[in-house]
Amino acid sequence: MAGIHSKANNRLATTPTPCTRTHQIGALALVIITFFLTRLTFSPSSSLDNVPAHYIQYNAVPLASDGSLVWPHRGYGVHLSLKIYVYTEDEINGLKLLLYGRDGKISPEACIKGQWGTQVKVHKMLLQSRFRTRKKEEADLFFVPTYVKCVRMMGGLSDKEINQTYVKVLSQMPYFRLSGGRNHIFVFPSGAGAHLFKSWATYLNRSIILTPEGDRTDKRDASAFNTWKDIIIPGNIDDGMTTQGARLVEPLPLGKRKHLANFLGRAQGKIGRLQLIDLAKQFPNKLESPELKFSGPDKLGRAAYFQHLRDAKFCLAPRGESSWTLRFYESFFVECVPVILSDQVELPFQNVVDYSQISIKWPSTLIGPQLLEYLESIPDNAIEEMIARGRKLRCLWVYAPESESCSAFTGILWELQKKVRQFHQSSETFWLHNRTIINRNLVEFGKWRPPVPLP
């Protein structure tokens, strides 16, 4: 009997049960039910639960029906939560020199004009920001205001004086040493980037640098820009083009533009720019490249500059002394599609902006007739679509007040939030079981006195 039952059991174990259509439907239903139960049980709560589905898109920054910008969850947090301490000019000996020069005669009003005005605008906006704190001990980040590019350009300080003054200023900041500079923010608004401070590699190699300039390894042995700690910011566009209402110059309809493309800039002895100027001479009906005068009776005024810029479908943006160019940002406000001819260029807010939808990047090694042939092959409807998308996103290049939902300043705040850490330490800081922070000599942090040896 045992043998019979054993054989029967073996047959049952080895004979497969036929899979009927009923089984298949049941299995599919089980999978679907399991999926939804898992979603209900394990999905983390988020403020995005109440955001319409069409807002949650990854191919571009989403906009609400009223045109305001809705920051996507991808690449950013759910809401801003920052505390930023802004150093005042009187609390640190030497900081006034980096703001107003050795004679104190360089004014913020003079420095806010031109393409380097971001150093003043970011400072002013942080002073008025709701995220500013006046208590160092509760700050997530620390902002060090300087107008050093303007000061240098206007003869307020020499390169040597800039370097010495920075070192002097930093040595008076205990919180800078506490983190090794990791939670300190500096603005370097020009193509030179942090190289304006000759000893940046020694002192600022951990700090957060806001700059329009990215990779400089094509020109220098080392680049001051680090993808993982620094932030690319837009250049400073003339306020007459970015303010709401009547602008300095309004865009022209596509059909009324005289040229296929233009290049408005000085040659500066740069091969790409020289090639464009030569190309304009070969194809004057397609490419405009007027000789720009920045002084004297034939100087090109603000309005005249933008009138030239708006008269083409494509605005060519080659590199100059460095990789970035203000013309890229300016082109959006005359509704001209920017064509980047700078291979090392870095662009701001790339975790939410898909630049392939609003601009063209062409190899700088292929500047020639084939570039014009390619641009000529693009149909007007495709150009109009790129312009329309750029029109929605250009608010990100405007240094507008914090009250504006879409602005360069808002974008910078979101980027800064990603830099916040719960705890910072340097090679010269230590801590004990009761969370007391000490230095190498076992002196408590609260008893450190400036000037502090730098980490």
Residue 106: inside a domain: yes
Position 332 scores a pLDDT of 97
In total, the chain counts a number of residues equal to 455
Q: Which residues of 401-428 are buried (b: 16+ CB within 10 A; e: fewer)?
A: ebebbbbbbbbbbbbbbebeeeebebee
Position 231 scores a pLDDT of 96
Residue 75: inside a domain: no
Residue 34: inside a domain: no
Position 70 scores a pLDDT of 64
Regarding whether 245 and 189 lie in a shared domain, the answer is: no
Question: 286 with 376: CB under 8 angstroms?
Answer: yes
Position 265 scores a pLDDT of 87
Tally of domains in the chain: 2
C-alpha to C-alpha distance for 404 and 47, rounded to whole angstroms: 21
C-alpha to C-alpha distance for 40 and 443, rounded to whole angstroms: 52
Regarding whether 272 and 219 lie in a shared domain, the answer is: no
Residue 70: inside a domain: no
Question: 393 with 358: CB under 8 angstroms?
Answer: yes
Position 46 scores a pLDDT of 34
- Low-confidence spans in the chain with pLDDT less than 70: 1-78, 216-221, 294
Position 221 scores a pLDDT of 65
Regarding whether 426 and 335 lie in a shared domain, the answer is: no
Q: What are phi and psi of 369, to 5 degrees?
A: -55, -30
Regarding whether 202 and 128 lie in a shared domain, the answer is: yes
Regarding whether 253 and 345 lie in a shared domain, the answer is: yes
Position 74 scores a pLDDT of 53
Position 192 scores a pLDDT of 86
C-alpha to C-alpha distance for 342 and 267, rounded to whole angstroms: 14
Regarding whether 256 and 227 lie in a shared domain, the answer is: no
Residue 403: inside a domain: no
User: 273 is in which domain, residue-wise?
Assistant: 240-398
Q: What is the DSSP letter of 366?
A: G
Global pTM value: 0.82
Position 55 scores a pLDDT of 31
Q: What CATH number corresponds to the domain at position 321?
A: 3.40.50.2000
Regarding whether 245 and 169 lie in a shared domain, the answer is: no
Q: Which residues of 36-71 are buried (b: 16+ CB within 10 A; e: fewer)?
A: eeeeeeeeeeeeeeeeeeeeeeeebbbbeeeeebbb
Regarding whether 392 and 252 lie in a shared domain, the answer is: yes
Position 23 scores a pLDDT of 60
Regarding whether 139 and 200 lie in a shared domain, the answer is: yes
Sign of CA dihedral 187, 192, 195, 197: negative
Position 320 scores a pLDDT of 86
Regarding whether 157 and 200 lie in a shared domain, the answer is: yes
Torsion of CA 357, 65, 58, 392, to 10 degrees: 30
Nearest to 419 by CA among 236, 181, 192: 181
Regarding whether 383 and 263 lie in a shared domain, the answer is: yes
Regarding whether 201 and 260 lie in a shared domain, the answer is: no
Residue 189: inside a domain: yes
Position 217 scores a pLDDT of 66
- Count of helices and strands (H, E) across the chain: 16, 13
Residue 192: inside a domain: yes
Residue 452: inside a domain: no
Position 147 scores a pLDDT of 97
Position 124 scores a pLDDT of 97
Per-position DSSP letters for 271-299, written without gaps between them: HHHHHHHHHHHH-TTTEE-PPP-SSSTTP
Q: What is the pLDDT of residues 23-79, one digit of tens each?
A: 656 655 555 555 444 444 433 333 333 333 333 333 455 666 666 666 655 555 568
Is the preceding peptide bond at 318 cis, omega within 30 degrees of 0? no
